[in-house]
Chains A and B, each alone.
Chain A
């Protein structure tokens, strides 16, 4: 439904040039919920704005529903008002001089052919009830709460039945509780209408819970694309491993390799000793890698049993109570290892503990 090929975009300001998008290609299928995730300044919003036609890219090609809306090579350019898209802005961009009804009716009044009055009224009412704002038609737009404005923006983006819905960090201005509610609600509405959605966010939780497919971006490039489960379980590279969830990192060199066909295991020489970790099939002995393991996958062992591999002795350094779990840091051979424990776990600061890194959760990531 949306095809982006080799998109590049440079901002030219008084302070010089900044290449925000460095050759990005994306293919979004009909009805898919696709998320661009990345730190601020990574170029994700720029891509979204290029799709909307609010920025002029330097090169590449953008197609929406098979129609080329931008092509650097053919000098094709379709202005935003002819692209037939819906968009929710970060600030919601609710027009304060109009009522709720007028805000939602606006896209219909600029549609060709223009629907008649009765139809407009009908479709506005439908869109508003879709987002649970039915009955608020006559209210001046500024008299809405933040959450209501968010719903209004969604209704306005969807009322003209666009082929594509663009969401630019729409949840970032809401408080935590409302944000959680709206995550579900947006996902449900989009699913019900089957509209293809491109979503931009810097919150990993939003990307993980809402997307069919997500991409992690950094510095104008896509680092990894996949389903949320794939990306969480098999981050490609230290940036993704650290950006999605949290990870402990141990730098080292591969000293031995075992296994084959996608389930290779490497022995990595790290500052705390040899660690066994899963590795890509292409890895070679002598490669420099970073071993990543998430805090929730580090296990605390009872004292006693014979030391086997991937087990390490350390000192409990810090214990922070965060309600549903204990966030702990253990010093192992000079390295700090973070792990999460049940609140009921009996641990004390300064005591000796033993940690296990289950091999299936250890990933050796090549730089």
Chain B
């Protein structure tokens, strides 16, 4: 018979050291490298913002001058004000369009919902520089077709519309971000338990009172979080303000950084660029702090009970036609029209309003005149990036998620925080950081400037926050006992990973992989300051033509890019349908 010794517990001895096998140590190593890279990129920018000089200087001088002159320069505040206006216009435009559409999709009997969802997800991926280019062709004061037409029609002395002002830029960006806002607000609407409204109705509230007192209040934190997120994206946006505003010197922070870095004469003042980047990081960090706060508030009201409920569906009735018109108009005006303009412009030697004469000058010359060697190089660079970047990002993300969620390492909270950091850092700052790192630090022992490696590193690091959010949520859904039972059955960590964890993560990983590949394809901001004619991706080729004002070539290259994207998009839909997901950014 057993003996019970209920005596005092012995003093806890020191725990035996955590048994590190090869697999767990490599996963931890990978986590250290990936999060270390983020720290290094941020660190380099911070360090160089306090220095004076150019790469190659034997000694760097430390100084606070950059901060002083930046804060004393009135133009800085003008840019800040512009950026705020731009972000708010973006947010207002996209929410005014997205919330009604999201409500129509989630809470009414709107017909053909799958088509709208498909179009929205596709629109998420259309490169915003392509759409922006279309708007140039529509509303540019000199070459814009609408302006040209109105001037000719009414004999005006000058163009009635100007696309190159901060509000117009904000509206264009807002229309581009509407699909993102749609996805985020639709999730919020979906998570609301209709029983709350029903309870209000039973308690004697009229429908409008229920909406005002219950629905709006319950949804507010979630919508607020989505709004901050969209404002963050607007704050960091580069494509639209660059294509619409750069030539007219109307800056937001992102384009201002670019402009300071590429002066028309002389060497760039790297210290001021770094300093400007630090300011941007600080502002973005503040926004993302607000975002996390709002997000933390949201679950208090989030009413996902696990119990299956069907949201109450409103009948549109006679408003059905108006609703369809509204949604259709959005897609036509915000997406189709600019892209059609792009196609039209790509077929013409110079931009003309559609007419019989114009039709006669239609040709494929713009396409045929594209520099073939460069085209080929850009295409293959993009292809390499699309394969390598998602692979590296997701490998690192799985490692980080595993360390954060499945080990008891003390620093795991820090790893999680670092992996979230790239979300807060504007893409242009990443680009600048990689440039500074390559020029100032790695020049001697690892000259990556001008190679594809610098792009691979910066793309992979920038997507880490998205990658880890995906792998975190996938890993959380896998019951820990599935791994523990494999361990008890005799499988070591490597075997558990290979035989249980990765197969179970596979659908989420496939989905995230292809999503990151598509984001890589459409990315313009990250390569914009680090690409050379050697390592340029496709998007940068288009950008080069835009900068040279070669709009015919630019539109031809952009259109070609859109067409080449179609098969990947198709693949995405197949994978997404299997994984059963609609994607956030």
Contacts and interface: CB of A to CB of B under 8 A. Distances in A.
A243 interface: no
Contact of A160 (B490, B492, B500, B506): B490
B484 interface: yes
Contact of A110 (B10, B12, B14, B491): B491
Interface string B108-121: 00000000000000
Contact of A222 (B6, B11, B21): B6
Given A23-B9, A58-B15, A59-B12, A80 B488 contact: yes
Contacts of B5: 6, 23, 25
Contacts of A27: 2-3
Contacts of A106: 486, 489, 491, 499
Given A23-B9, A28-B2, A58-B15, A81 B492 contact: yes
A263 interface: no
B487 A60 contact: no
Nearest to B502: A97
Q: Which residue of B9, B499, B503 has the most chain A CB atoms within 10 A of its CB atom?
A: B9
A354 interface: no
Contacts of A72: 10, 12-13, 16
Contacts of B14: 75
B490 A23 contact: no
Interface residues of B, number: 38
Interface in A43-97: 52-54, 56, 58-60, 70, 72-73, 75-77, 79-87, 89-93, 95-97
Contact of A23 (B10, B18, B484, B506): B10
Nearest to A77: B16
Given A96-B504, A111-B490, A225 B2 contact: yes
Given A25-B4, A60-B10, A222-B6, A97 B503 contact: yes
Contacts of B8: 23
A76 B4 CA distance: 23
A366 interface: no
Contacts of B1: 213
B4 A80 contact: no
A157 B482 CA distance: 13
Contacts of B16: 56, 70, 72, 75-77
Contacts of A10: 12
A225 B4 contact: yes
Contact of B488 (A70, A75, A81, A111): A81
Contacts of A77: 16, 19
B265 interface: no
Interface string A143-181: 000000000010011001000001000000000000000
B19 A8 contact: no
B19 A93 contact: no
A79 B487 contact: yes
Contacts of B504: 95-97
Interface in B1-48: 1-19, 21
B2 A95 contact: no
Interface in A336-352: none
B495 interface: yes
Interface residues of A, number: 54
B57 interface: no
B487 A213 contact: no
Contacts of B479: 91, 93
Contacts of A26: 2
Contacts of A95: 482, 485-486, 500, 504
Interface in B331-357: none
A80 B492 CA distance: 8
A221 B6 CA distance: 7
A22 interface: yes
A223 to B, nearest CB: 8
Contact of B489 (A22, A76, A107): A107
A8 B485 contact: no
A86 B486 CA distance: 10
Contact of B10 (A6, A19, A75): A6
18 contacts: A6-B9, A25-B3, A25-B4, A25-B5, A27-B3, A59-B12, A60-B10, A72-B10, A75-B16, A75-B17, A91-B481, A96-B504, A97-B503, A106-B499, A107-B490, A111-B490, A160-B489, A213-B2
Interface of A: 6, 8, 10, 19, 22-23, 25-28, 52-54, 56, 58-60, 70, 72-73, 75-77, 79-87, 89-93, 95-97, 106-107, 110-111, 153, 156-157, 160, 166, 213, 215, 221-222, 225
Which 10 pairs from chain A and chain B are nearest by CB?
A: A23-B9, A110-B490, A58-B12, A93-B485, A93-B481, A107-B489, A72-B13, A89-B481, A80-B487, A27-B2
